[in-house]
Amino acid sequence: MGISASSAIKFFKDSGTIKGEDREKELTLRNGKLLLEKLKAECDCRSDLFTIFSAKELKDATNDYAEKPYSDVWFGLYKGYLKGRGLPLRVLVKQYVAYDYDIEMAINDVVMASQVNKHKNMLKFLGCCLETNVPALVFEFPEKGTLRDLINNKFSSRPGCSPVSWDNKLRIAREIADAVTYLHHGLPKRILHRDLKPKNIFLDGNFVAKLSGFYWSLSLPKGQDHVEVGRFDGTIGYMPPEIFMTSSYTDRGDVYAFGTLLLEILLEENFLKICEMVEQVRDSLRQSRAQVGGSPPQSPPDLSPRSRRYYTSETAPPQTVTENDALSEVPRADPDEDHLWREVIWPGFMTEKTGANYQQFMACAELALKCRKSNSHQRPTMMEVALELRIIINFQTSTLRK
């Protein structure tokens, strides 16, 4: 059934007369109560309509959760086929691991996704199931997978296929920036995403970017520019360095994560491999300085073959270093860090095979480095980032018109 947050209140209150007739009803009451409390706190129960599915519907739709094209540490994403209800045929069902902590994450995911559903660059949230141990979420199925898939395939839609064009790469970056800008500036209460990474960016049949993954998202209290966090949730490499020193999160934390994403798009590599490349450049520079009294080499060193070396952040507590992305390792700090990154970025342009414009490529690279400044106050806002990307895109358009 289609249901709004406000009308759901009566539904769950009426269901409260049923006292444990079966496990599914007990779970519906418990999860429904938690959902309503969160909806009331976050948006005063003014979210968009969404559908409440039964556990049997989702089990049938996914063939008992048989096909799992995507997964993360906390959940699995299953392909499903829904019949009836007037919904899209193919769906993506997100099922969390059945721990108490995951209930909190799933409820948060539902509440945040239901608030941002109208934006064209959000993965369309269809509804949820409250009869499972942890609420399951249902989304439209993203035909082209995730941005991580695209990066791993060197921006081919499938291995062996033609690469995604440079213009489409820029468009995808701009669409992600637009989605995050909407979170920061387009809602009554600003939302901080807090886990912006390629696995949370989906792509529809036309390679249009769709943001998802709101399990750790937080809304900023009105009149405040930061929120205190009790634990270091996130993915190392995308988490801003200040979080480990201040335990507070601002909108510039999402900007930092976007800078990492933009580098991955430019270099067609996941962040771990980019960090390995930076470390190789760092080692080459040290060797060169030792030989010639401190002068850096005049041209980028040969970066291949790459050694499989892992570098763990010295500031991150051990419990935050989780596997799944294998992105939990970052290069050590260095006063010449921007120079090192530029040494890696330049060969990235030289091997670019999708018709990249040099000025656009280097402008995007500089924007990514600005987003990843160690000092959060030196980073642009997401609105400024989105505007800058539009300027970069329009530069190519205006050049072609001349």
Contact between 200 and 292 (Cβ < 8 Å) = no
Cβ burial, residue 6 (10 Å; 0-12/13-18/19+): middle
Question: In terms of DSSP bridges, do strands 125-129 and 70-71 run parallel, antiparallel, or are they unpaired?
Answer: unpaired
Which residue in 195, 251, 254, 325 is the catalytic one?
A: 195
Q: Which residues pair with 249 in a beta bridge?
A: 227
Contact 164, 207 (CB under 8 A): yes
Rg (CA), the chain: 22
Closest CA to 93 of 144, 135, 32: 135
In the structure encoding, which two tokens stand for residue 252, read together?
């510039």
Alpha carbons 188 and 210: distance in angstroms, whole number: 21
Residue 195: active-site member: yes
List, by residue number, the catalytic residues: 195
